[in-house]
Amino acid sequence: MTMKNKEIVEEIKKIVEKEMEGTDPSHDFLHVMRVYNLCLKIAKYEQNVDLEVLKLAALLHDVARSKEDFDETGKIRHEMEGAKMAEEILTKFNFSKEKIKKIKECIISHRFRGNDEPKTIEAKILFDADKLDVIGATGIARTFISVGMYKQKIHRDIDINEYVKENLEGGRKNGRIINLRKHSPNLEFETKFKYIPEKLYTKIGKELGLERIEYMKKFFERLKKEINGEPNFKVRHSYF
């Protein structure tokens, strides 16, 4: 990437940060930068990666997130709207139509609960990096942000199949959440998080995913025990 393009990347960072003002902390500009950095790390383990496409796609993948978050109709899909916005932004910086097309393909296919599968190596890396950010310790922190935002319960004890039928679009585990207030961190783990490692495309992504999901699994197992008043250690005292 030339010095000129490095300067363009910095300008695009500023544009994205401004567009994402007001988004919740789980999908803010810091999330974008975590994904951006993860993309670069994963790319080191892959071949024939167009780093320019990858960097720009990573920076722009959630540029329309605030539009979806503040859309009361529920019709805006940030990956589709983001691809349109990315095209407008990149055109102003005189990127070629072919380059813009590749970046848009990455953005459109980055969503877990989406219908477009990533096909290029850049799209696969972006998908993996974006999903890795929602699991592990970071994923736990992000999930509990939603508890406060949408007034969710920190844990819901409900049959998963019943919940999926009730609150996930199309009655599918990968369907879009209909009512966020009915959701909870453990339900997000059961319907989305634990399936992430098997959905990742890169070898290093899968390895990182398995390690992170194991950490989350133990956390939610312990959370349920504590909620039910069960001790998490060998009891030594008679009052238990």
Q: Which domains does the chain have, with CATH numbers?
A: 1-116 (1.10.3210.10), 134-228 (1.20.58.1910)
Kindly give the residue spans of alpha helices, DSSP state H, lying in the chain.
3-19, 29-43, 51-60, 65-69, 78-92, 97-108, 121-132, 136-150, 160-167, 185-191, 196-199, 203-227
198-221: average pLDDT: 97
What digits encode the pLDDT tens for the residues 24-57? Answer: 888 899 999 999 999 999 999 999 999 999 999 9
pLDDT at 70 over 90: no
Mean pLDDT of 99-124: 88
pLDDT at 16 over 70: yes
Residue 132 or 174, more confident: 132
Of 137, 110, 144, 114, the residue nearest 35 (C-alpha): 110
Q: Residue 148 class from Cβ within 10 Å (0-12 exposed, 13-18 middle, 19+ buried)?
A: exposed
Give CA–CA dist 126/58, Å, rounded: 6
Angle formed at CA 171 by CA 164 and CA 163, multiple of 5 degrees: 15
Per-residue pLDDT at 107 exceeds 60: yes
The share of the chain scoring above pLDDT 90, in percent, equals 71
- Output the pLDDT for position 6: 84
The residue type at 19: E
